[in-house]
Structure 1
Amino acid sequence: MPLGIVVAIVWLFALALAYPYLPGAQTDAFKGLSVLVGLMVSLGASSIVGQAAGSFTILYSRTMRVGEVIKSGDNEGVVLQIGLFATRIRTLTGVEISIPNTVILSNQLSNFSRNPEGQGMWLTTTVTIGYDAPWRQVHKMLIGAAMKTKGVEKTPAPFVLQTALSDFYVEYLLHARILDNGLRLDILSEMHAHIQDAFNEAGVQIMSPHYERDPAEPKVVAPEHWEG
């Protein structure tokens, strides 16, 4: 417990013991004033008590620890300190920010440092490609781009899931394993660059077409192109 909190508790305890011996402590006016002051302190300290309760909830629920990479709301970074009233994190751009504990508790908290498979995390990104692109070819290009990215683990190997067959396009979700959570955005940026290069070289557009009218010919993939 911080030293300031201990000192405050000692002073409050001493004041409670000394109260009966104060001059005029037994008069109705003094008692009424005491009630008024107590009410004012209670109302004014409600937010402070809420912040303190939030810090204990965070600490004892073990949702995050110092050194872990988290995301709370729009803020993402490494936890520097979990204080009594606020949590300090250093963002991936090097900016140190302080987030009130009640704000953290009221928002969804993502902890990128917790993974049942051990150190690291699965990095994901999504592309939407039209149905006229062979899906096997798209898988190969996405996996190849991930394998070229520095920081992506070769074992377990990257893989692709087709998460949706939408009206106009297929959604492909690329999974790649990384070990350094702190470089997540840097690795993701490089992987996106490799994906763009791979699709440009193959002449496949990264776009989500929208329906306006029936095409002159069905937009399907010919069997000779199925293997990509």
Structure 2
Amino acid sequence: MNEQLQTLEHAQQTAIDLAIQFGPRLLAALLILAAGYYVGRWVGRAADSMLVKLGLDATLRLLLVRMLRILVLGLFLIMALQNLGVQLLPLIAGLGVAGAGIALAMQGVLGNLAAGLTIIFTRPFKVGEYISIVDEEGMVEEIKLFNTVLSHPDRSRVVIPNRKIAGEILHNFGTLRQLDVVVGVAYDADIKRALAAIRDLLIAHPKILREPEPMIHVLALADFKVQIAIRPWTSVADFHTTSGEITQAVLETFHECGIPIPLPQREVRLLGAA
């Protein structure tokens, strides 16, 4: 019983000695880390405000602010470890060896990270633009370090790993898209009147842009009709709805103006008697 009491007393005394020896250092280290957290937030807000005034892209601005916060917190972490008496050189060497193993195990993730940094700094597209790449298309909703998120008109979302984007052929429509509506009129119709009617309805349509100027021209002389191409510009958000609206408006306008829209025709001749 006496031996157990002595062991307990020894453990208590050891704990007290350690608390006296390392307690103040540990408290100081925690205070340094807390200060680093708040200093990092303050520096991040100040940098973000400055970058906003410079008109920097939102994605790049967010990346720079995060990197700056991590850098500030890392500096305070080093100060805290030094205050605890930790030898940094062996720790850095150990982290280097561990980092090499982690890098080998996470090649795909690091590839996405490298591609994400490439996209952010080269800026082949921006948030709000409509792009087509790797058999997918949509409006750019988010550009992250590891992936890019596209939104579709059907309100679905496509998440593409950044390594699938870097090095691929990219079609960037920007914030505008050109409609491609083709209508047909009869050969005996007044073509000039049909073109004028189309031009008037495009001018009156609220979703059609005045600049760039809409393109309206005769496209081809088909078997039983004259094909007219209607190629106005609209915003990406209005593209799909406007295409149907223009097609319907052309049909109604042609009916009101008496411009004939021909049906497919085939002439069959019977030669000789059966």
Q: What's the TM-score, normalizing by structure 1? A: 0.59
**Aligned to 1:17, which of 87, 93, 97?**
93
**Aligned to 1:175, which of 231, 236, 248?**
231
Report how far residue 169 of structure 1 moved: 5.0
**Aligned to 1:191, which of 217, 221, 246?**
246
CA radius of gyration, larger in? 2
Matches within 5 A, 1:96-135: 96-105=157-166, 106=168, 108-113=170-175, 121=176, 123-129=178-184, 132=187, 133-135=189-191
Seen in structure 2, the aligned counterparts of structure 1 residues 83 and 19 have a Cα distance that, compared at 3 Å, is closer
Quick one: which amino acid aligns to residue 149 of structure 1? H
Deviations 1:9-62 (A, max 9, x none): x9xx97760389x9xxxxxxxxxxx9xx95x963x5333233223222322221
Q: Which residue of 1 aligns with 2:207?
A: 151
Report how far residue 90 of structure 1 moved: 3.0
Q: Following the alignment from structure 2 to structure 1, what is the Cα–Cα distance between the partners of residues 205 and 253?
A: 12
Q: Which residue of 1 aligns with 2:131?
A: 70
Q: What's the TM-score, normalizing by structure 2? A: 0.50
Percent pairwise identity? 19
Q: Which residue of 1 aligns with 2:108?
A: 47
Q: Which residue of 2 aligns with 1:26?
A: none
Pairs aligned (count): 183
Q: CA contact under 8 A between 1:163 and 1:171: conserved in structure 2?
A: yes
Higher share in helix: 2
Give me the CA root mean square deviation: 4.1
Report how far residue 63 of structure 1 moved: 1.5
**Higher RCO, 1 vs 2 (CA within 8 Å, ≥6 residues apart):** 1
Seen in structure 2, the aligned counterparts of structure 1 residues 200 and 175 have a Cα distance that, compared at 3 Å, is same
Q: Give SS of 1:48's match.
A: helix
Deviations 1:57-95 (A, max 9, x none): 322221211233434444322x23211121123333433
Higher share in strand: 1
